[in-house]
Structure 1
Amino acid sequence: MQGLRNPEKRGVPSRTPQGRGMSVTQPFRYAQGREPVERQMVFDGKSGKLFCDCAIKSMMIKRLGFELLIGGCTLGIMEEPNRPDDPNILWKIFSSLKLTLALLIVLAIGSVFGTLIPQQESAMELAHKLSPGLARLFSSFQLFDLYHSMWFRFIIALLAANLIVCSINRFPASLRRFRGQPSPERPKLFANLAPQMAFALNRDLEEVSNNTSAYFRERYKRVRSATTAQGEHYLVGERGRCANFGVYLVHLSVLLILLGGLVGSIFGFEAFVNVPEGATVEKVRLRKTRAPRRLPFAVRCDKFSLDFYPNGTPKEYRSDLSFLVDGKVAHRGVLLVNHPITFKGITFYQASYGTIAGNMGRLRIASKNGVEDSSFEAQLGKTYDLPGGHAKFEVVDIRSNFMGMGPAVQVQVRAPSGRNPGIWLFQNQEKIRRRFPGIFEKFPQLNPAAFEPFVFSLEKIESRYYTGLQVSKDPGVFIVWTGFFMIVVGLFVTFFMSHRRIWIRISKSPQGVRVEVAGIASRNKVGFAKELDRFRDKLQDYLLEAPPSQAETA
């Protein structure tokens, strides 16, 4: 079988330790200048099975560096150092990668339930369709409000603790790599260098060394140099040291996102309120518990307008809102669908609209004494004289749908005799009479002729719009957005940046001066090999274009 070629091809030394994998043909290296000798393995049935068994056993999960991407959260699982057993069993458990995988699996399963099962208000319809036992089971596990359940928050807290402990365990090694000063003198890197990574120049050694150092320092940071007793010059430079911390930036961003969600869940709220046109409210009703909650300011709906498409479908809801602090307007804004307004950390969304009874109603009063009928535009809360001036009446309540029988007003008669009946007048009086014969005579409070000799009737009531507002406060939203921004930066650093180090050796050769280039990268070895090729070509062109020294010219 054909043997493997030089694994350190193109100047990138192989760093695969023994045991990470096996090849069918394994070269044995001897001293420099000797040809490698290859040992052939006959791949028959028995030896093939043995080879596969050894290869599988050698692929230990703890020695693999990989990135686990689940649910948008990237956790860098790095190589665990071989160290004696930690006496702190709790710390050992929380630093376990198995715990990370188990928690992520539980969160993924919980998220599936939270996606498939309607949550909060939407869950009521499903709960009525389920059997009582199954509904109690779902409720006991808080599956109808899963993302606010205690067990879901507990799993998130465990994941955060696991992430923190894993990061603390591995951070010192990354810090050492960041602070470490690579030694310029690394002859082993050049022992099996690919031929194309070296070139010769017919120049002076010191001149080539100085020019190479100047070129190198312009393009790489922390360049260090050394000269051996044999007159060989070594240079080392590096880039992307911060790539060692990319995974920790991702970890921190995940923690911030979890923290922001937890802060919003605990200290935030979701509520709703209906504000009639022209009315002012200071309280909202919590969506989950229906309990009232006072706002630190008042909200007034100055105007509500509604536009329709030609087919009658609503086109746009618009609410002109004013926010009042201590009775004074502090802010005004136009609220539209998908264009919320935020005031003092509380966000208002246009959610719905509807109509309610206004403050005006048209009443007709007839008299059995032959007095001419009269009509009134009666306003809520005002007092009016009855025909003849013997009594007064007041409209004390207006309802758009009272007792399921349609629009109605309540009239309170005030007579000198002390007979002051309160009467409910319905707009659909004749329909109600046909549906419920004798209802008005049976119940005096519904009888329009209860105050003789007058007969009251309701012609219509004024209706007005109300705007339905969804009210939300989430103090953790800024933390979440910060975490999302950081996770993008962290993922970019983790996947597209690497810690790259380049070594250059300059030595005498029969052709004059020999320049060799080698390097090591923490990831993306293929891209780094191309970078080394470009660096070598540009360095060679730079040195060839540099003017020769005076000594060489002489």
Structure 2
Amino acid sequence: MANIVCECGHINPIGTHLCAKCGRPLSEEEKSKKIADMRYDGTAIRSKTYKKTFIDHIWNFFSSVKVGVSLIIITLVMAALGTFLPQVMYVSVPLGMTEADVYEEKYGLFGKLYYTLGFSDIYSSPWFQIIVGMLAISIIIASFDRGIPLYKSLKNQRVRRHESFMKRQRIYGEEAMDEVQAAEVFDKAQEKMKALKYKVRREEDVLLAEKGRFARWGPYINHIGLIIFILGVMLRLMPGFYLDKTMWIREGETAAIPGIEGYYIHNNKFIFETYGDSDEKVEASQKAADAINSKAKNYQTDVTLYSDKVDGKSLAGNTDDLEKIKDYSIQVNKPLKYDGFALYQMDFRQNELKSMKFDLVNKKEGKSLGQITVNLDDPAKKYEISKDIYIELKSYYADFSGFEEGVPQSASPIPNNPAFIFTMFTPEVPKGETSFVAIKQTLEPLGTTKYQMKFNSVETRNASNFTVRQDKTLPLLLIGGIIFMIGVTISSYFSHRRIWLQYTKDGRLLLASHVNKNWFGMKKDLDSIVSYAKLPPYIDQVDEDNKKKELDNKEDGDNT
């Protein structure tokens, strides 16, 4: 595209509104304005200039302020929708259930749909990350689109400007005076401007005083902070940067910490404390009913942290030679922290069935022939009482929920209501007898038996639920937030002020001024300089126009 050649001979890129050298208006739109458009100092903006190619359309779309604001609003609305139901990190998932099951059980169809669409983990959902990514692209492109032209115009701004540029500033004044008087005014003005911390550039009969140029970069510093913050948010999807998982572990068990390679945790004991009359400790092995009317004082799991790392390297799956790292008591708000990750006590399960003991009893005599112990996590297939007496476990239903068409059913793999089908072999019945045994229920599905399995006792244990957290993005989020607040401060409390003085060949001293915001502060500085250096009196052309419009409206009203 052709460049624009100004009357002064300077060549400007297409799309420039004010000549970069003299400040003359170049476009017809700009020439029709009484006050110069000083945004980006009239330089060419790519998104306002190039609109032909596919790349231009993409660039212009993302550089649009409307698009950026729309993406921000969409992001906020989606984040707000994520507050309708608790986020998954705050939901306790019982043993044997999935997160989807919990949402559906508690909130019905809405909860299931809420989880499926990713609202339950809003900040990690792919579609939310796409919106955030588009917002980041919009911020970056908008910053380059406007920041680079602004930087070039401010870096290369000239001291001498055309008279039309001076007259088209909001603050303008002029006065006739001779060269000697003008020289004195220039000297005094320069002295006062320096006292007010202005940076003064003087070339013969022209002067430019400038202060607070850095204020123009406040929004762009905002953008840098936002981009860093968004980068931190998006890195949460990358492996190794962010982890938020849950794990259940029973007393006496050792389990790998999910998502943390090379580390294992052993549950030594769970302790439940209440505020009682004697304020004594109540151990979790007691029945939960004992503490129904008590106020909880403490939930605590005593654990041991192990590692399978050898010479700093993890031998995945190797649990034969674990190295003990430390013992620790995990409490609510007192997590175990190590090597960048943390384990939080989130939930517990008391008195979970661990094993059950049964006696093989002669029904007629009521005499026990022996006892077996069934491990409910991994029951054996055969239990020997003696050489001629043994029991075979044909079927095991961890959470017996009834019969369907005569077939026993299990609601879950958790031993909440165990049921068994045993075959009993004795010298009297060498071919075996079948017995169905559940809690408080014994059936003989294949006919009357001479022997039966009789419940003796049960061994219980407690299980603890931990949330595993690891977040390496926090430094980025913190740095981004700090940079963003610095940009907000600069944008809010500082302004870029400029004052031009120019002595013309026909003996007039011209005064013009511009500030990107805070005109009250600018006028305060000007009043001080005008009073000290005897500069020409100035007018605020915007205020004058507003007063004229009010007067015209008043006159029209009176005539009516």
Task: State the TM-score, normalizing by the size of structure 2.
Answer: 0.55
Paired residues for 1:284-433 under 5 Å: 284=258, 295-310=261-276, 311-326=293-308, 327-357=322-352, 402-403=399-400, 406=417, 428-429=439-440, 432=441
* Cα distance, 1:484 vs structure 2: 2.0
- Give the one of 489, 496, 500 matched to 2:493: 496
1:163 alignment partner AA: I
Distance 2:430 2:38 in 1: 93
- Give the one of 230, 235, 245 matched to 2:217: 245
Partner of 1:262: 234
Check whether the contact 1:185–1:234 (CA below 8 A) recurs between aligned residues: no
The question of 1:486 aligning with 2:489 is answered no
- Give the one of 101, 104, 118 matched to 1:124: 104
The question of 1:161 aligning with 2:143 is answered no
* Cα distance, 1:491 vs structure 2: 1.4
Deviation per CA, 1:55-107, whole angstroms, max 9, x where unpaired?
Answer: xxx9xxxx7989xxxxxxxxxxx996896444333223332333334434444
Partner of 1:275: 249
Change (3 A) 1:521 1:294: closer
Deviation per CA, 1:511-535, whole angstroms, max 9, x where unpaired?
Answer: xxxxx99965332233454566789
Check whether the contact 2:436–2:445 (CA below 8 A) recurs between aligned residues: no
Check whether the contact 1:148–1:265 (CA below 8 A) recurs between aligned residues: yes
Change (3 A) 1:111 1:191: closer
Distance 1:372 1:392 in 2: 14
Partner of 2:451: 449
Distance 1:375 1:295 in 2: 46
Q: Secondary structure at the match of 2:451?
A: coil
Check whether the contact 2:103–2:112 (CA below 8 A) recurs between aligned residues: no
2:273 alignment partner AA: D
* Cα distance, 1:218 vs structure 2: 7.4
Distance 1:217 1:332 in 2: 67
Paired residues for 1:156-195 under 5 Å: 156-176=132-152, 178-180=154-156, 183=159, 192=173
* Cα distance, 1:169 vs structure 2: 0.9
1:329 alignment partner AA: K
* Cα distance, 1:379 vs structure 2: 9.5
- Structure 2: gaps of 5 or more residues: 1-16, 18-32, 89-99, 176-182, 277-292, 309-321, 402-415, 504-509, 535-560
* Cα distance, 1:260 vs structure 2: 2.2
Change (3 A) 1:416 1:220: farther
Percent sequence identity is 18
Check whether the contact 1:357–1:400 (CA below 8 A) recurs between aligned residues: no
Distance 2:369 2:136 in 1: 76
Distance 1:314 1:149 in 2: 36
Distance 2:193 2:229 in 1: 42
1:241 alignment partner AA: R
Bigger drift between 106-115 and 302-311 goes to: 106-115
Distance 2:107 2:298 in 1: 34
Deviation per CA, 1:439-496, whole angstroms, max 9, x where unpaired?
Answer: 1x3369x98934xxxx64313x232221111234444443333322222222112222
2:296 alignment partner AA: P
Q: Secondary structure at the match of 1:442?
A: coil
- Give the one of 24, 49, 62 matched to 1:94: 62
Distance 1:170 1:65 in 2: 10
* Cα distance, 1:501 vs structure 2: 4.5
1:496 alignment partner AA: Y
Partner of 2:13: none
Distance 2:464 2:450 in 1: 34
Distance 2:433 2:44 in 1: 84
Distance 1:468 1:448 in 2: 45
* Cα distance, 1:336 vs structure 2: 2.9
Partner of 2:22: none
Check whether the contact 1:425–1:448 (CA below 8 A) recurs between aligned residues: no
Distance 2:307 2:369 in 1: 45
2:302 alignment partner AA: D
Check whether the contact 2:173–2:511 (CA below 8 A) recurs between aligned residues: no
Check whether the contact 1:448–1:457 (CA below 8 A) recurs between aligned residues: no
Change (3 A) 1:374 1:205: farther
Q: Secondary structure at the match of 1:192?
A: strand
Query: What is the aligned residue count?
Result: 416
Check whether the contact 2:248–2:465 (CA below 8 A) recurs between aligned residues: yes
Change (3 A) 1:379 1:79: same
* Cα distance, 1:353 vs structure 2: 0.4
Check whether the contact 2:232–2:473 (CA below 8 A) recurs between aligned residues: yes
Paired residues for 1:450-465 under 5 Å: 450=452, 456-459=454-457, 461-465=458-462
Deviation per CA, 1:99-134, whole angstroms, max 9, x where unpaired?
Answer: 33443444445445444477774653588446xxx9
Distance 2:38 2:296 in 1: 58
Partner of 2:282: none
- Structure 1: gaps of 5 or more residues: 1-16, 18-57, 67-77, 195-203, 285-292, 434-438, 507-515, 541-554
Change (3 A) 1:237 1:170: closer
2:256 alignment partner AA: E
Distance 2:499 2:435 in 1: 93
* Cα distance, 1:170 vs structure 2: 0.6
Distance 1:324 1:468 in 2: 18
* Cα distance, 1:247 vs structure 2: 0.9
The question of 1:236 aligning with 2:209 is answered yes
* Cα distance, 1:504 vs structure 2: 9.2
Check whether the contact 2:246–2:467 (CA below 8 A) recurs between aligned residues: yes
Q: Secondary structure at the match of 2:262?
A: strand
Deviation per CA, 1:213-244, whole angstroms, max 9, x where unpaired?
Answer: 5x86677374445554xxxx968352x33222
Deviation per CA, 1:305-347, whole angstroms, max 9, x where unpaired?
Answer: 2222454243332233333211113355443334444444444
Check whether the contact 1:364–1:376 (CA below 8 A) recurs between aligned residues: yes
Check whether the contact 1:185–1:226 (CA below 8 A) recurs between aligned residues: no
Distance 2:158 2:297 in 1: 67
Q: Secondary structure at the match of 2:464?
A: strand
Distance 2:304 2:528 in 1: 64
Q: Secondary structure at the match of 2:517?
A: coil
* Cα distance, 1:166 vs structure 2: 1.3
Check whether the contact 2:298–2:332 (CA below 8 A) recurs between aligned residues: yes
Task: State the TM-score, normalizing by the size of structure 1.
Answer: 0.56
1:99 alignment partner AA: V
Partner of 1:220: 197
Change (3 A) 1:299 1:96: same
Change (3 A) 1:222 1:370: same
Distance 1:447 1:321 in 2: 47
Change (3 A) 1:281 1:419: farther
Check whether the contact 2:328–2:336 (CA below 8 A) recurs between aligned residues: yes
Paired residues for 1:21-32 under 5 Å: none
